[in-house]
A and B are shown apart, each in its own frame.
Chain A
Amino acid sequence: MVKSYAAGGAEFRLTIPRLDIERGSKLAFVGESGSGKSTLLELLAMILRPSASGTFVFRPRASGESHDIAAAWQSADPDSMAALRSRHIGYVLQYGGLLPYLTVRENIVLSRQLLHLPQADSAEHWAERLKITAQLGKRPAELSVGQRQRVAIARALAHDPTVLIADEPTAAVDPLNAERIMEVMIGLVEETGVTLIVASHAHSLMRRAGLRMINHRIDAEGGTLLHIKVSDVAD
């Protein structure tokens, strides 16, 4: 799979010769910023259209069917991907990405609402696990950065997704907090069995969290063209 894009006058090319991610695995893409980690995650989240694609198959459940994502992009079928996204993927952004006009509680249950899942005390459950119960009635603007990231993790997990994608989830918080947040997140991931894909530039943090690391290789070609290759075959 290839994604080319231009930014700041330079052209980038992200090449993924082969990448298999097994259900239940915990994976970290580690590399410096600008190495295409976010692009890779967005491709995996089916939100970014690949420039060219070989096989791209998403099989969220062992017993379930395989979804041909390459074909969905080909036939311009964004609705089927939106449906897969809402059902199977939880996404944590570097800066929370919470909706400022909703309370913490409403932010957490938004994905459940979209799927018509019962909300019951889902927000309370996740808030308790992430230690943000006192913040449930507040707006995101009233929270610290660390609290916002905890809310973002709660929201990403609230609808019981099969894949949790986190793009630099702790880059905006201080190291001590980062450590704690990672700890809570990994704990929840192991508890729920969700597949975890993280992008981060923090080598040591990822290693301590026990994630399998995949490094990006950046090739400079012709001055402005960057080749970023991700190659990994999971067992």
Chain B
Amino acid sequence: MSPTDSQLGLILTLAWRDFGHERIMSACFVLSLSAVLLPLLVLFGLKFGIVSTLTSPLKEDPRYRQIQPAGSGRFGPEWFEAMAQRSDVAFIVPRTRAIAGTMRLRGPEGNAGRIISVELIPSGPGDPVLDGLSEPDGLERVVLSLDAADKLGAEAGSRIEGIVSRTWSGKQQTELLPLQVIGVASAGAFARDGMFVSGELLMAVEDFLDGRAVPAFGWEGTADQGTPRQFSGFRLYARELEDVAGLRTGLMEQGIDVRTRLADIELVQGLDRNLSIVFWIIAIVAASGYGLSFGSSVWANIDRKRREFSVLRLTGFRSRGIVWFPIVQAMMTAVLGWVLAAVAFFAVQAGLNSLFAENIGGDQAVCRLLPVHLVIALVLTLLAATVAAALGGVRLARLEPSLALREG
């Protein structure tokens, strides 16, 4: 250890001893700091709790992140590839024309008489609405919407039959597709009769209806033209709520009219923003007020103790080291004040949350802080206290030592 370090170490010890020696005054500093910090923590906790409560349904429901085309267009494979590359896109699959987007289904054995018509929903790996289910793939494996499964009396594992018809070469042609239900989507995933299918199956159905051949099923028809397939729509989900606005703008600039739930998102985001502004105004006013009062107490304290500081200098401590004395004490005040405020915060938080428990459901909380918020509060408190004390330290460094020595 270099001599400078050890001098600093001794200064820290002395600062701590003085802090403990004047414990009543130190306690006053600590209490007044937590008296300012506690309401700020509660206020921020309320803001964070309320905004989280409002945001969490939006975050949990992927439909808020969905971007739907308003009309139909023409989108080629390159376009889908480019979109899938974007970091703000969580999921995108092509959608066929609406006319090719339906299929009749016959229920499983035992309920085979029941036939319903369902909308085909293109799906694939990472489909946000099929959270936790295995995704449809191949030509057989499908996921039913809850309504469709109910009407058909089907469940995961059921075997059902798809029925598709076309008029081809002047004849009515009906084909049956054996399908396996690998899952039933939650009620929120799709509110009507629907079936989540792989892109492969969807394209096969579209080809069939358009009179083209589908070799996979052995259906005859006109041969593949070799030109890249164009799709009329897409299923697109943004990665985060915050990405919706940007994606929407990007698509609009490409001339693609889209529908989003942006209004709902912006309502909550606007509330968050406004509450944040209110919070920071209060925080800055309170913190600067406290900073001034803390700084002036440090200043007055240095005046009071300048004889002791002069003695330290006379003993051979460097003024550079002595400046740390008030700063270290300010840091101790900051840490202890923060601990006190944090403990009190948890009590207030528990009270507030039980008070409003009936108004908001389940695991939501009206007042809540993350550990990182408390850490940030500590860092800011330390910073403010250090700056306030450093101003006093500057005074200390300029103190003419000899004038202080002579007083009684």
Interface assignment of A47: CB less than 8 Å from any CB of chain B? yes
- How far is A38 from B17 in the complex, measured between Cα atoms in Å? 30
Interface assignment of A210: CB less than 8 Å from any CB of chain B? no
Interface assignment of A52: CB less than 8 Å from any CB of chain B? no
Q: How far is the CB of B396 from chain A (nearest CB, A)?
A: 14
Find out whether the CB atom of B406 lies under 8 angstroms from the CB atom of A101.
no
Q: How far is the CB of A180 from chain B (nearest CB, A)?
A: 22
Q: How far is the CB of B379 from chain A (nearest CB, A)?
A: 29
Find out whether the CB atom of B318 lies under 8 angstroms from the CB atom of A82.
yes
Residue of B313, B315, B408 touching A110 (CB-CB under 8 A)? B315
Find out whether the CB atom of B308 lies under 8 angstroms from the CB atom of A42.
no
- How far is A152 from B10 in the complex, measured between Cα atoms in Å? 19
Find out whether the CB atom of A86 lies under 8 angstroms from the CB atom of B316.
yes
Residue of A82, A101, A113 touching B313 (CB-CB under 8 A)? A82
- How far is A87 from B310 in the complex, measured between Cα atoms in Å? 17
- How far is A101 from B16 in the complex, measured between Cα atoms in Å? 9
Find out whether the CB atom of A47 lies under 8 angstroms from the CB atom of B313.
yes
Interface assignment of A19: CB less than 8 Å from any CB of chain B? no
Do A87 and B316 form a contact, CB below 8 Å, given A99-B311, A101-B14? yes
Q: Beta-carbon contacts of A89-129 to B below 8 Å, as 1s and 0s?
A: 10101110111111000000011011110000000000000
Binding stretch for chain A, among B18-26, B207-215, B354-362: B18-26
Chain A residues within an 8 Å CB radius of B310: 97
Q: How far is the CB of A164 from chain B (nearest CB, A)?
A: 13
Find out whether the CB atom of A111 lies under 8 angstroms from the CB atom of B316.
yes
Q: How far is the CB of A29 from chain B (nearest CB, A)?
A: 15
Q: How far is the CB of B20 from chain A (nearest CB, A)?
A: 7
Q: Beta-carbon contacts of A125-151 to B below 8 Å, as 1s and 0s?
A: 000000000000001000000000000
Find out whether the CB atom of B308 lies under 8 angstroms from the CB atom of A100.
yes
> Which of A42, A82, A113, A139 has the most chain B CB within a 10 Å cutoff?
A82
Interface of B is mostly: helix
- How far is A93 from B408 in the complex, measured between Cα atoms in Å? 10
Q: How large is the interface on A (under 10, 10 to 19, 20 to 34, 35 or more residues)?
A: 20 to 34
Chain A residues within an 8 Å CB radius of B14: 99, 101-102
Residue of B6, B22, B316, B319 touching A101 (CB-CB under 8 A)? B22
Q: How far is the CB of B402 from chain A (nearest CB, A)?
A: 4
Could you tell me which residues of chain B, from 304 to 326, have a CB within 8 Å of some CB in chain A? Answer: 307-308, 310-320
Chain B residues within an 8 Å CB radius of A115: 316
Do A93 and B405 form a contact, CB below 8 Å, given A101-B18, A113-B10? yes
In the complex, what residue of chain B is closest to A155 when comparing beta carbons? B315
Do A114 and B314 form a contact, CB below 8 Å, given A38-B405, A48-B401, A167-B405? no
Do A95 and B408 form a contact, CB below 8 Å, given A47-B401, A100-B21, A102-B14? yes
Interface assignment of B53: CB less than 8 Å from any CB of chain A? no
Could you tell me which residues of chain B, from 107 to 130, have a CB within 8 Å of some CB in chain A? Answer: none
- How far is A98 from B311 in the complex, measured between Cα atoms in Å? 8
Chain B residues within an 8 Å CB radius of A85: 314-316
Do A78 and B318 form a contact, CB below 8 Å, given A93-B311, A101-B22, A114-B7? yes
Find out whether the CB atom of B315 lies under 8 angstroms from the CB atom of A47.
no
Chain A residues within an 8 Å CB radius of B17: 101-102
Find out whether the CB atom of A45 lies under 8 angstroms from the CB atom of B314.
yes
- How far is A121 from B401 in the complex, measured between Cα atoms in Å? 31
Interface assignment of A83: CB less than 8 Å from any CB of chain B? yes
Could you tell me which residues of chain B, from 277 to 309, have a CB within 8 Å of some CB in chain A? Answer: 307-308
- How far is A95 from B67 in the complex, measured between Cα atoms in Å? 81
Could you tell me which residues of chain A, from 147 to 164, have a CB within 8 Å of some CB in chain B? Answer: none
Interface assignment of A39: CB less than 8 Å from any CB of chain B? yes
Find out whether the CB atom of B408 lies under 8 angstroms from the CB atom of A101.
no
A-B contact pairs, 12 of them (CB 8 A): A42-B402, A48-B402, A82-B313, A82-B319, A86-B315, A91-B315, A94-B406, A98-B311, A99-B18, A99-B311, A102-B14, A139-B21
Residues of B within 8 A of A (CB): 6-7, 10, 14, 17-18, 20-22, 307-308, 310-320, 400-402, 405-406, 408
**Given A42-B402, A97-B314: 8 more A-B contacts, CB < 8 Å:** A48-B402, A82-B318, A86-B315, A86-B317, A87-B316, A98-B311, A99-B308, A102-B14
